[in-house]
Amino acid sequence: MRGTETALKIVITITMIELVLVFVASILIIFTRIYMGYRKKRYDRIRKEITSYFFQSLEKNANPNAFVLPRRLRNLRALLTVIEDIDETIKEANWLVLKEMIIKRYLFPKARYSAKSLRWMRRNLAARTFALFPTKEDEDSILYLVSDKVPLNRIFAARAAIALATPTLLRRLFDMMVLEPVKNLFNLRDIVVNGSEIVYQWMQKELKRETDINMRFIYLDIFSAKKGYTIRQLIDLDLKSDVKYLREKAVQILIQFPTKEDLPLLKPFLKDPSEDIRAHVAKALGNLVGESAFEELKGALQDESFWVRMQAAISLRRLGKIGVDYLNQVGDNPDMRGIVDYALTVSDRELQE
Amino acid sequence: MEYFKIFLVYASYVIFGYFLFVQSFYILLMFTAFPCLTRRMREVNSDNLLSVLRSESSPEFSFIVAAYNMEQLIVLVIDNLLALHYKKKKIVIVNDGSEDNTFEILLKRYKLVKTGLPRRPQLKCSKIRGYYRSSIYPNLIVVDKENGGKADAMNAGLNVTTTPYYLQIDADTVVGDDAILRIIRSSLTKPHVIACGGSIGIGNQCIFERHKLKKVMFPTNFWAGAQVVEYIRAFLFGRLGWNSYGGNLCLSGAFGFYDRDIAVSVGGYDLAVAEDLDMTIRIHRALREKGKPYKITFLPDAMAFTEVPSDLVSLLRQRERWQRGVNIVVWRNRNILFNSKYGFLGLMSFPILALTEAISPLIEAPGYIIFAIAAGLGIVDWTYVFWYLALALLFPMVLSSICIMMEILSVQVYNPKTAYLKMLGYVVIESLGVRQMLVFVRFYSFFLFIFGIESWTNVKRKGIQSE
């Protein structure tokens, strides 16, 4: 029984400690609630005041160099957020001048200091600042931030790099893109696609001498996503490449604006080992080449891949009467019935796509 | 009789030891969860992610909604998703062989037209009747298939998804703009995040404005109210606490964000019940076996609201089903238990899950009876009984109250704000009756699982009351 009593004492002590800890936790929570509420309100108030300060200055058309932010409003994160919000909607010249002045005076000192900080939120402040107003002076910091381990910081730094478009920055950016997993490419690729003419000229120059397959894939991927831009003369080697995904991208570039003259060039790809490529070409033939592709599409309708046959059937439907008549003719074949039915009932919206 | 007394004494020691261990562990989790929550709120409050998420840099993702007999709710849920302010989203609805008018409603309301097959279905699922696309909303795809259960429907949805990420959402769940932004934020701000889950709140009564979730009201129904406390406790300190250790084992199936390629690489969804827990554990296992760095996180401030059972029978059926699911998952993955190959997962998080979720009803339910008998017969000291009651009944009450305070501290979603006082009343009811009742249902479910008996599954739905 003595053992039981000791056990009981231990249990009571532990339970008492637990209850005390719970009590401490409650007190902590109450204090944190009060403190965080205060902080949030203060932050929101500062943001509002900064915004009204900016608009007052813009309305008065005051000299931007004379703009001074009161000390109590110098919360850099709030300042940055306000500038980002206004920058999305206002593109007027006086705002751009005011923005430049504010960034240079208040944000640059902190951003340059924090660009290589160990804390990601600080690096984030730097990256966001450089994305708003990139300068040659900060090339080193942007270079560092482009390879940041936090995707969000990389995105902001990539924007700055694309805006500056110096060869060193572009080189690092593309090196990073090669290292990214394919699914994460969206982070940077879409930013590059929206880049200026300088970026595209640099990419063309690089594509001419680049031999690394992965790097070529990145370039071709971007060119294939860019509307109204073609680089046929640079993709001859890629069209003959043994690497499927490289060939696929090259074909995508080739079929961006196909004409009747391209038919001999596209025709061999209907026999490509990759069904994706055959399907792309079957789709493109119906899309833009027109009736001259009728014979090729007839052949593609016999393809071993269901997906290619489906695309060929839709393309034949696009050709108009000649294609529809042929589909009705082959539709008697039970193997073709499903595909033909689908192609004939496909909606106009899908045909346009 | 003497042996019976000795048995009662030792059994009460074991039960007491179990409670002491579990509650001490909960305190540890609470103290870990608290700094996580404050850090998270500080970060989120001072962040301006809208500029990124409105831009071309935001990641594309798909919502996958598995719907079975959801004619009451499906339009409300889809309209809510369509109204979300996020550009790069696709919505995939899988009609899992509904016997009611779910599909007909979809066909008419969204003007569906039949479309082609997905490129290469990577996961097996029941026979597909057709793939459809809305002629009003180009980003809305509907898959009509024969009934095969939720996991099967999710696999069919994954087959048509081409985006790098997908968000699994229940057909009775609604979300706000904020929740989506916060979920996406986590994939952008932390390296190696491959899955994350948000909190689930009780959305039996919601107010919508132009299909957007505007306000969540505290439910007037007693059973739904009692579950509010339970959900807050489960999400705010349980899952958040595990975050720091990287040991989150369950992302809620009602609102979970996953990397599509990884979900497909582990073979997609497999179990008809607790498919969310099963999927998360399989992802953990696969990536640990490959030695790849990864993170599965829980976000307390990203909230979705779901309809919960509002009558006792439905609640008991739901809990019985959940418990069966947990038992199946634990049994299937039993080789992880205390397996150092899986690191923290094998040595800590999975054994704790097995103890607190799978085995706990076997200890707790008989525990109440044994203690009552032992105290009644005067076998155990009354001081001992007092401390047992403190641990088993009073302590959960205090813990729930702290969690409610944490809710007030962070998201504070329920309206009117006075509802939080009401919640304190529910804390007492939940700890002194509802919880015990559910423990006995789980105990019953455990035996059904042992003897391989299938039982009731259907949950009665009233629909989210909206204005």
**What's the CA gap between B464 and B170, in Å, rounded?**
13
Does A259 reside within a domain?
A: no
Does B281 reside within a domain?
A: yes
Note whether B315 and B412 are same-domain residues: no
Note whether B357 and B297 are same-domain residues: no
Task: Quote ipTM for the complex.
Answer: 0.74
User: What CATH number does the domain containing B225 carry?
Assistant: 3.90.550.10
B57–A39: do the CB atoms touch at under 8 Å?
no
Per-residue model confidence as pLDDT tens digits over A121-172: 899 999 999 999 999 999 999 999 998 888 888 889 999 999 999 999 999 9
Contacts of A292 (CB under 8 A, 6+ apart): A260, A263
Is residue B444 scored above 60 in pLDDT?
A: yes
**What's the CA gap between B295 and B301, in Å, rounded?**
18
**Beta carbons of B343 and B319 less than 8 angstroms apart:** no
**What's the CA gap between B274 and B145, in Å, rounded?**
21
Question: How many domains does chain B divide into?
Answer: 2
The rounded percent of chain A whose pLDDT value lies above 90 is: 17
The phi and psi torsions of B143 (rounded to 5 degrees) equal -110, 125
Does A138 reside within a domain?
A: no
Does B461 reside within a domain?
A: no
Picking from B306, B336, B366, the residue at the C-terminal end of a domain is B336
Note whether B325 and B208 are same-domain residues: yes
Does B154 reside within a domain?
A: yes
Cis, peptide link before residue B35, omega less than 30° from 0: no
Does A319 reside within a domain?
A: yes
Let me know how long chain B is: 467
Mean of all residue pLDDT scores within chain A: 82
With contacts defined as CB-CB under 8 Å, which chain A residues touch B189? 120, 150-152
Note whether B247 and B391 are same-domain residues: no
Among B27-36, B48-57, B377-386, the minimum mean pLDDT is found in B48-57
Residues 205-234 of chain B with CB under 8 A from chain A are none
Note whether B134 and B251 are same-domain residues: yes
Dihedral sign for Cα atoms in the order A350, B138, A188, A196: positive
Domain with B186 in it: 48-336
Average pLDDT over residues B133-143: 85
Does B348 reside within a domain?
A: no
Is residue B455 scored above 60 in pLDDT?
A: no
Note whether B69 and B9 are same-domain residues: no
**Beta carbons of B410 and B236 less than 8 angstroms apart:** yes
Chosen for mutation from B14, B26, B52 (greatest number of chain A CBs closer than 10 Å) is B52
The predicted model scores a pTM of 0.81
pLDDT of residue B292: 85
Domain with A334 in it: 269-353
Note whether B329 and B380 are same-domain residues: no
DSSP tag of A64:
G
Does B258 reside within a domain?
A: yes
Q: Does residue B340 sit at the A interface (CB-CB below 8 Å)?
A: no
pLDDT of residue A160: 93
Our CA angle for B50, B52, B53, nearest 5°, is: 65
With contacts defined as CB-CB under 8 Å, which chain B residues touch A26? 401-402, 405
With contacts defined as CB-CB under 8 Å, which chain B residues touch A40? 45
Note whether B63 and B12 are same-domain residues: no
Does B58 reside within a domain?
A: yes
Average pLDDT over residues B373-382: 80
Note whether B251 and B324 are same-domain residues: yes
Question: How many domains does chain A divide into?
Answer: 1
CB-based burial, B232-246: b 16+ in 10 Å, e otherwise: bbbbbbbbbbbbeee
Contacts of A66 (CB under 8 A, 6+ apart): none
Is residue A10 scored above 80 in pLDDT?
A: no
A85–B24: do the CB atoms touch at under 8 Å?
no
Does B325 reside within a domain?
A: yes
Please report the beta strands in B121-192, taking only residues with DSSP state E, as ranges in sequence order: 128-134, 140-145, 165-170, 173-175
Q: Does residue B24 sit at the A interface (CB-CB below 8 Å)?
A: yes
Our CA angle for B307, B239, B92, nearest 5°, is: 45
Q: Does residue B46 sit at the A interface (CB-CB below 8 Å)?
A: yes
Instruction: Give the other-Cβ count within 10 Å of A93's Cβ.
Output: 7
Average pLDDT over residues A272-295: 79
Instruction: Give the other-Cβ count within 10 Å of B71's Cβ.
Output: 18
Does A317 reside within a domain?
A: yes
Does B464 reside within a domain?
A: no
**What's the CA gap between A349 and A353, in Å, rounded?**
6
The two structure tokens encoding residue B127: 């026979």
Question: How far does B361 lie from chain A, in Å, by closest CA?
Answer: 22
A26–B402: do the CB atoms touch at under 8 Å?
yes
User: What CATH number does the domain containing A338 carry?
Assistant: 1.25.10
Note whether B71 and B217 are same-domain residues: yes
Does A334 reside within a domain?
A: yes
Question: How far does A348 lie from chain B, in Å, by closest CA?
Answer: 10
Contacts of A48 (CB under 8 A, 6+ apart): none
Contacts of B371 (CB under 8 A, 6+ apart): B12, B15, B380, B385, B388
Does A28 reside within a domain?
A: no
Note whether B32 and B88 are same-domain residues: no
The two structure tokens encoding residue A277: 């490529």
pLDDT of residue B456: 47
